[in-house]
Amino acid sequence: MAISKVSALGIHHESFSFHMVLRPVGISASEGKSLRKFPVISALDWRTVVIGLAADSGCGKSTFMRRLTSVFGGVAGPPKGGNPDSNTLISDTTTVICLDDYHSLDRHGRKENGITALDPRANNFDLMYEQVKSLKEGVSVVKPVYNHVTGRIESPELIEPPKILVIEGLHPMYDPRVRELLDFSIYLDISSDVKFEWKSQVSLSLSLPSLSLSLSLSLSRSLLLWLLVWQRDMAERGHSLESIKASIAARKPDFDTYIDPQKQHADAVIEVLPTQLILDDNEGKILRVRMVMKEGVKYFDPVYLFDEGSTISWIPCGRKLTCSYPGIKLFYGPDTYYSSEVSVVEIDGEFEKLEELIYVESHLNNISTKFYGEITQQMLRHADYLGSNNGTGLFQTVIGLKIRDLFEQIQAEAASKQAITSPK
């Protein structure tokens, strides 16, 4: 057992294979005495890998997380016996923390100060940094919970160090200290046209009661709660759809100032744009999806199509891939993104028959699958998830596989270091 330092925050360790009862970060020593009600951490035989997923609300993070969890098998759910309004999702391998829990100003406080949740002043980055760092070092934390129903910060919950910690939300790459802790980062970049189309679809369907139930099943909890508040506003104050559109637009200045710039720091960006297959299309129904992958990122080899480093435009429609109007087109090539060298794989259009995706998969390389057709199998398994017939679902699945690969490489490296430092 190797203990590197004892701090006021808890006991940190440098070895990843020891057994010790630790006091979670975020609670005082006296509170720690009543810790018996919390489970206790012991025997970490992995090194927690930290992934950042940044996006505006309602941009597909929940669907992405469901695909990621599925790559590792098992089902994700809220912490057992914890706060019923928890935003956390835990599975055997992954724990997904929603960064809304680090709002330092509740809804009332933000209103009083005239600032939005996107404004860094409404968020506690010191606590976010301290807790993500602790989890990465194998120390449990007691994290606040932001309740999207009441708009208040509520009684905290215990989070134990998982194998893979995903921090998702508005600001995972905003604070340089938190950014430094990320082993891999992703930004979901939904163009304004598409974002607007997605939000209006949701709003429209909620005004049609027969569609509400089926839709609500595919919505993330926070989006659903936001919509319920919105519905209440509609009923109580007679807000029009136009005013809701205006309230979405009101977020834009802070989005442009604080959220969007984070994409320059991301290791992978999934861009979702209107199709170019239909002239002047700005409906945002058929999507052109680009996976922008930084070169030179440790443990991450960018995906390529056919021939690494070349520039390729491919229309696979024909004998092996059924396409209906407006068809489907792939692109692969090098590019520059915020002065970084990147590779881009792009898919414009929709898959007609999901099982034929195997044809496209077989021409993609560096996809980190464990067997032939694994991507197609995942996509078929979750055919009912949003974006399964286009590049959004495909690239989310690919990134899920790349995260699994990154996790395995990091564990293998940690294990070999461990073997060197403590030989038998």
Ligand X SMILES: Nc1ncnc2c1ncn2[C@@H]1O[C@H](COP(=O)(O)OP(=O)(O)OP(=O)(O)O)[C@@H](O)[C@H]1O
Ligand Y SMILES: O=C(CO)[C@H](O)[C@H](O)COP(=O)(O)O
Q: Which is nearer to ligand Y, 9 or 178 (CB)?
A: 178
Among 70, 222, 389, 392, binds ligand Y (CB under 6 A): 222
User: Measured between alpha carbons, how far apart are the two ends of the chain, in Å?
Assistant: 14
Q: Packing angle between helix 61-72 and helix 374-381, nearest 10 degrees?
A: 120
DSSP 354: G
How far apart (Å, rounded) are the C-alpha atoms in residues 148 and 404? 31
β partners of residue 5 = 12
Whose structure tokens read 């442009």? 256
Which residue of this chain has its Cβ atom nearest to ligand X in the complex? 387
Judged by beta carbon distances under 5 to 8 A according to partner kind, the member of ligand Y, ligand X, none in contact with residue 386 is: ligand X
Among 72, 226, 299, 331, binds ligand Y (CB under 6 A): 226
Of residues 53-72, which lie at the interface with ligand Y (CB under 6 A)? 57
Residue pair 135/63 in contact (Cβ under 8 Å)? The answer is no
Judged by beta carbon distances under 5 to 8 A according to partner kind, the member of ligand Y, ligand X, none in contact with residue 100 is: ligand Y
When asked if residue 100 is in the footprint of ligand Y (CB under 6 A), the reply is yes
When asked if residue 170 is in the footprint of ligand Y (CB under 6 A), the reply is yes
Residue pair 50/165 in contact (Cβ under 8 Å)? The answer is yes
CB of 126 to ligand Y, least distance (A): 18
With CA atoms as reference, report the closest residue to 161 among 54, 11, 293.
11
CB of 168 to ligand Y, least distance (A): 10
* Residues engaged in binding ligand X (CB under 6 A): 55, 57-63, 198, 201-202, 218-220, 222-223, 386-387, 392
Under DSSP, is residue 48 helix (H, G, I), strand (E, B) or coil? coil
Indicate the residue type of 137.
E
Among 32, 82, 109, 151, binds ligand Y (CB under 6 A): 151
How far apart (Å, rounded) are the C-alpha atoms in residues 269 and 337? 10
CB of 62 to ligand X, least distance (A): 3
CB of 106 to ligand X, least distance (A): 18
SS (H, E, C) 212-271: HHHHHHHCCHHHHHHHHHHHHHHHHHCCCHHHHHHHHHHHHHHHHHHHHHHHHHCCEEEE
Q: Which is nearer to ligand X, 223 or 259 (CB)?
A: 223
Q: Which is nearer to ligand X, 83 or 418 (CB)?
A: 83
Q: Which is nearer to ligand X, 17 or 218 (CB)?
A: 218
Q: Which is nearer to ligand X, 2 or 204 (CB)?
A: 204
**Two tokens, residue 42:** 């012991």
Judged by beta carbon distances under 5 to 8 A according to partner kind, the member of ligand X, ligand Y, none in contact with residue 392 is: ligand X
Residues that bind ligand Y in the complex, under the rule CB under 6 A = 57, 100, 107, 117, 148, 151, 170, 222, 226
